[in-house]
Amino acid sequence: MTDFIAVIPARYASTRLPAKPLADIAGKPMVVRVAERAAQSGASAVWVAADDARIIAAVEEHGHQALLTSAHHASGTDRLAEVVDKLELDDDAIVANVQGDEPLIDPALIHAVARELQLHPEAVMATACHAIHDYTTLTNPNVVKVVMDIEGYALYFSRAPIPWPRDAFAAGQSLPEGLPVFRHIGLYAYRAGFLRRYAGLTSAPIERFESLEQLRVLWHGYKISVAVSGQPAPLGVDTAEDLAMVRRLWV
């Protein structure tokens, strides 16, 4: 059995969708819908970590736990580190980071990522991916790709198409059969002790240029284990159009 807690970082301000965590989905705030999914994952506890009292009130009104955290965190990972200290978690505790804008997240995927970390003691983090089957997705810079080693640890994450099938593309082919190309799913599990150390890691050049925070972890020599999912990533909510789509799918 995998013992872990789920934490949902939630920030009130959003450039493209103001007050996004409180956006209504079938009568409940989006962040509450995410908490409901996380509660079905097998987590021993679910916490929403928010920077605004309005989010805290909405979450608690619907019967879920919430912590008010600093409004000055640069990332959701930094917010998780504050939660780890406030809850006084042991360094070996596993913390699943569930994005607050993914109300369609599969609870089984949350559990799978937490279990992936449990099964790989050399890793400080775990995440997930699924296979890519078309050229357009492979070459889309908004789609993050990941390459793993023989043991399933991440070698690199990139917005570029990796691995690049040189001969096949030179011959005008689409994706050659057997090409190990995977789309990263932005769901993570961490060891609490690593979250405490993370804030002290200097930013990496590859992280800044790719705009991918997880590259900082690889840059400093830590291991990230990757679970391969048979299902594509769920639709997240970044824009008003995304929200409208999720509302239609919720029916």
Q: What is the pLDDT of residues 47-60, one digit of tens each?
A: 999 989 999 999 99
The pLDDT of residue 247 is: 94
Are 158 and 210 contacting, i.e. CB atoms less than 8 angstroms apart?
Answer: yes
- The helix (run of H) or strand (run of E) holding residue 175 is none
pLDDT in tens, 152-184: 999 999 999 999 999 988 888 888 889 999 999
pLDDT value of position 174: 82
pTM of the model: 0.93
According to the model, what pLDDT value does residue 114 have? 98
Record the tokens describing residue 76, joined without a space: 């959701």
* Domains in the chain, CATH or no CATH each: 5-249 (3.90.550.10)
Q: Are 159 and 101 in contact (CB under 8 A)?
A: no
Provide the 10 A C-beta neighbour count for residue 125. Answer: 26
Q: Which structure tokens are listed for 43?
A: 């987590």
Q: Is the pLDDT of residue 142 over 80?
A: yes
- Average pLDDT over the chain, rounded to whole? 93
Q: Look at residue 185 in the predicted model and tell me its pLDDT.
A: 95
pLDDT on residue 231? 87
The pLDDT of 96-105, averaged and rounded, is 94
pLDDT tens digits, 201-251: 999 999 999 999 999 999 999 999 999 999 888 888 989 999 999 999 886
Residue-wise pLDDT for 61-92, tens only, equals 999 999 998 877 777 788 888 999 999 999 99
